[in-house]
Amino acid sequence: MAKSSSKTWMPTVAGILLLIAGAIALLRGLGRMFIASFTERPLLGLGLEIAGGLQVVLAIIIIIGGIFAVQRKVWWLALTASVIATLHLLAAGIFSTLVGLIGILAIILLAVSK
């Protein structure tokens, strides 16, 4: 009985971490889209808008996965969201690295809790 009660905090912490990672990714994506509106080169602006839009979509998936992890529902979506957060390690930048490291921690917590 003590074993199940010790595991109950892990999905909650993983969900909170995913919510934080999703918020960081969302702000980064919106920032890219905002910067694109000030660029004078149209192709660069379009590229930033597309990258920012994709970032926003992925951030929304991460946030939804975090919500489901906190609620302890739809476990596969929470795990998918943490994998998406981990894939941010492939991008350059300190915020992407932070989101990726949070994603790794969330994967560990979700896998151990299952």
C-alpha 17/C-alpha 8 separation (Å) is: 15
Residue 5's pLDDT is what?
54
pLDDT at 63 over 90: yes
What's the chain's average pLDDT? 90
Structure tokens at 6: 């010790």
Residue 1's pLDDT is what?
42
C-alpha 106/C-alpha 98 separation (Å) is: 12
pTM (predicted TM-score):
0.87
